[in-house]
Amino acid sequence: MTIPPWLDDFLWTYGNLVHALGVNGLLALSMYVVLAVGQLSLGQAAFMGLGAYSSVLMTQQLGLPFWAVLPLSVLAPVVFALVIGLPTLRLSGVYLAIATIGLGEVLRAVYLNVDLFGGALGLSGIPERADNTMIYGLLLAAILALWLVGRSGIGRAMEAMREDETAAAVMGVNLLRYKMGALVASAALAGLAGCLNAHVSSFIGPGEYGFEPAVTILSYALLGGIGTPIASVVGAFILTLLPELLRELSDLRLVLNGVIIVVAVLFLPGGVLPFRLRRRAA
Amino acid sequence: MTNLLEVSGLTRKFAGLVAVDNLDMQVAAGGIHAVIGPNGAGKTTLFNLISGLLPPTSGRIILAGQDVTRLPAHRRAALGVARTFQNIRIFGAMTVLENVLTGLHTTARATLPEVIFRLPRFRRQERDAVAQAMAALDLVGLRDQANSRAASLSYGDARRLEIARAMAARPRLLLLDEPAAGLNPAETTRLADLVRTIRSAGTTVLLVEHDMGFVMDISEDVTVLSFGRRIFGGPPLAVRQDPAVIEAYLGHKVAAKLAAGATTGVRGA
């Protein structure tokens, strides 16, 4: 397959941005899954970091091929999701959010201080094993799967819990099981995003998976909306493109970026796409 | 007659307050049973204990011979316990039909792969669920509103939607928490007919209600609670004459006057 010259130029200039759009779309979906059952997690960046570090170690230390590394990259984040979720999801309230912030900070300290993870310098020289086909293929597959699940009895139960947990429990919804399932799916998606991102950017470091990126990922879903999976992805696209589009403004860029987000949240409380999944008309 | 529900020694304390106090109660299978009592008597707490939203401090709850005391709410739903709430709790952003479909959650068997790949079992399950949900909407007369947003329903319709949602999976025991609250007399009459239809379809009804006309009209058995204790249990006609009940509702001075025959024409409550 030959790539036309204009596309080649475009990818040469904006390759990183194209990767980032797809990866951030996956992260937005990972946030969406948790918010869709009415929970708040701030551990998406930490799960992403676990996927990134574990996959790079598999590539560099164990020499595993990428077709094995990519699926295995969900393992570490899923295990941590279970460890964090089992005690906190039994409680109602913000315990999951607090525990996931803690997870991110603990892991950052571990990456910084354990030689295996490269300390403050991070891990570099990562071979470029992932590409846009994999990133966007997974993104599309994830959107489709979440959309199909959303338009089923499972999706109804998720929306019911988000609206009124007590009423949902009385309808027979096993709240703990759904919350755990959502958190595990969310951790797996973030882990895949971390693995893909690490294998297109040649370097990963402990600063990329702390509290600030966690809040950025949350804002993807809040800006886009959580009524449909696609809405959160649109939110990620907007927030990833915005700084690039405002590049001309140099110093004012971050200010305007912030103003746009604040205005959007104030005037579009349901997100840019506040629609909900349509299910079954009679 | 066999009992569908047996509650024995049931106690629930909130800090210093004893909301339900060593309660014994039996609900006959296939009947309409009312729980009445002054405000704060523990009626809603009793419903929360029976539906599994609250764990009891002590005591036992037996449903159709099975001890369900330690089961969480979703397990009891699967065993056929359904309920409505005093302050209507429908899912406002969903359509009327989707609300009723959530009531069929316990009937779903399709696994995640079957859902994602839209395999035959999932498709059949959804089709059956819609048919069953529409039947429940027929029962309460809301079929025409199936695709309306639930939040847009009138108050009376929202109450009926909540009953349809609870009835969708054909529960064994339906708990109605003040179903007539806020209804006008015509709506109350329709509600009484609906409750009788539900009972004749095989669901046992246990209800909490303040509208005494409604209670006397439809129930076969009445339990009166006061400060968490059972002060009366028996047929509705005997309730009005019971001195303990009159005292609980009207205070001991009025009760004493009534007993002395000083006042006439005072109705039950």
| Angle between helical axes of A175-201 and A153-163 (0-180°, round to 10) | 100
Other CB atoms within 10 Å distance of the CB of residue B36: 28
**Structural domains in chain B, sorted by start:** 1-80+173-233 (3.40.50.300), 88-170 (3.40.50.300)
Q: Are A261 and A215 in contact (CB under 8 A)?
A: no
Interface check A157 vs B, CB under 8 A: yes
Whether A190 shows a pLDDT value over 80: the answer reads yes
Give the model's pLDDT for residue A257.
75
Q: What's the mean pLDDT when you consider all of chain B?
A: 92
Strands (E), chain B: 3-14, 17-28, 32-36, 58-63, 66-67, 81-83, 173-177, 204-208, 221-226, 229-234
Q: Do A160 and B94 touch (CB under 8 A)?
A: yes
pLDDT class for A233, splitting at 50, 70, 90?
very high
A129, B7, B126 from B65: Cα distances, Å:
62, 11, 32
pLDDT class for B243, splitting at 50, 70, 90?
confident
pLDDT class for B116, splitting at 50, 70, 90?
very high
The mean pLDDT of A86-95, rounded to a whole number, is 86
Instruction: Determine the residue of chain A that is closest to B78 in CA distance.
Output: A172
Other CB atoms within 10 Å distance of the CB of residue A274: 14
The mean pLDDT of B185-213, rounded to a whole number, is 95
Rounded CA-CA distance A224/A230 in Å is 8
Q: Range with the lowest mean pLDDT among A199-208, B150-159, B253-262?
A: B253-262
pLDDT class for B265, splitting at 50, 70, 90?
very low
Q: Where are the domains of chain A?
A: 18-267
How many beta-carbon pairs under 8 angstroms link A with B? 98
Rounded CA-CA distance B112/B68 in Å is 29
Could you say which of A148, A149, A171 has the minimum Cβ distance to residue B103?
A171
Q: Which residues of B touch A37 (CB under 8 A)?
A: none
Give the model's pLDDT for residue A54.
97
Q: Which CATH number is associated with domain A18-267?
A: 1.10.3470.10
Give the model's pLDDT for residue A148.
95
Rounded CA-CA distance A119/B137 in Å is 62
Give the model's pLDDT for residue B89.
96
Whether B240 shows a pLDDT value over 90: the answer reads no
Q: Range with the lowest mean pLDDT among A71-75, A170-174, B80-84, B231-235?
A: B231-235
Q: How far is A56 from chain B (nearest CA, A)?
A: 30
Q: For the segment A7-60, what is each residue's pLDDT rounded down to a tens digit?
A: 888 877 888 999 999 999 999 999 999 999 999 999 999 999 999 999 999 999
What DSSP state is assigned to residue A3?
Answer: P
Q: For the segment B144-184, what is each residue's pLDDT rounded down to a tens digit?
A: 999 999 999 999 999 999 999 999 999 999 999 999 999 99
A6, A274, A280 from B153: Cα distances, Å:
56, 21, 19
pLDDT class for A281, splitting at 50, 70, 90?
low
Instruction: Determine the residue of chain A that is closest to B168 in CA distance.
Output: A171
Interface check B116 vs A, CB under 8 A: yes
| Interface predicted TM-score (ipTM) | 0.91
What DSSP state is assigned to residue B106?
Answer: G
What radius of gyration, in Å, describes the C-alpha atoms of chain A?
A: 19
Q: Do B102 and A175 touch (CB under 8 A)?
A: no
Q: For the segment A48-84, what is each residue's pLDDT rounded down to a tens digit?
A: 999 999 999 999 999 999 999 999 999 999 999 999 9
Whether B185 shows a pLDDT value over 50: the answer reads yes
Closest of A92, A25, A77, A88 to residue A187, by C-alpha: A77
Other CB atoms within 10 Å distance of the CB of residue B16: 5
Q: Do A170 and B110 touch (CB under 8 A)?
A: no
**pLDDT > 70 fraction of chain B, expressed in percent and rounded:** 96
Which residue type occupies A232?
A: S
Instruction: Determine the residue of chain B that is closest to A168 in CA distance.
Output: B102
Q: How far is A147 from chain B (nearest CA, A)?
A: 9
Whether B268 shows a pLDDT value over 50: the answer reads no
pTM of the model: 0.91
Place of tokens 């329903």: B153
Q: Which residues of B touch A149 (CB under 8 A)?
A: 112, 115-116
A144, B5, B106, B108, B109 from B120: Cα distances, Å:
19, 38, 19, 13, 12
Q: Do B122 and A169 touch (CB under 8 A)?
A: no
More confident residue, A154 or B248: A154
Interface check A148 vs B, CB under 8 A: yes
Q: Which residues of A touch B87 (CB under 8 A)?
A: none
Whether B262 shows a pLDDT value over 60: the answer reads no
Helix/strand/coil for A129: coil
Q: Do B74 and A174 touch (CB under 8 A)?
A: yes
Q: For the segment A116-156, what is each residue's pLDDT rounded down to a tens digit?
A: 999 999 999 999 999 999 999 999 999 999 999 999 999 99
Q: What's the mean pLDDT when you consider all of chain A?
A: 91
Could you say which of A148, A156, A172 has the minimum Cβ distance to residue B98?
A156
Q: Do B85 and A167 touch (CB under 8 A)?
A: yes
Rounded CA-CA distance A185/A29 in Å is 10
Q: How far is B32 from chain A (nearest CA, A)?
A: 21
Closest of B14, B40, B79 to residue B208, by C-alpha: B40
Length of chain A: 282
What DSSP state is assigned to residue B189?
Answer: H
Q: Are B204 and B4 in contact (CB under 8 A)?
A: yes
Which residue type occupies A184?
A: V
Rounded CA-CA distance B224/B8 in Å is 16
Cβ contacts of A249 within 8 Å, gap of 6 or more: A256
Interface check A86 vs B, CB under 8 A: no
Q: Do B105 and A157 touch (CB under 8 A)?
A: yes
Interface check B126 vs A, CB under 8 A: yes
What radius of gyration, in Å, describes the C-alpha atoms of chain B?
A: 20
Q: What angle do CA B84, A228, A15 make, to 5 degrees?
A: 160
Torsion from C-alpha of A37, A216, A146, B169, nearest 10 degrees:
10
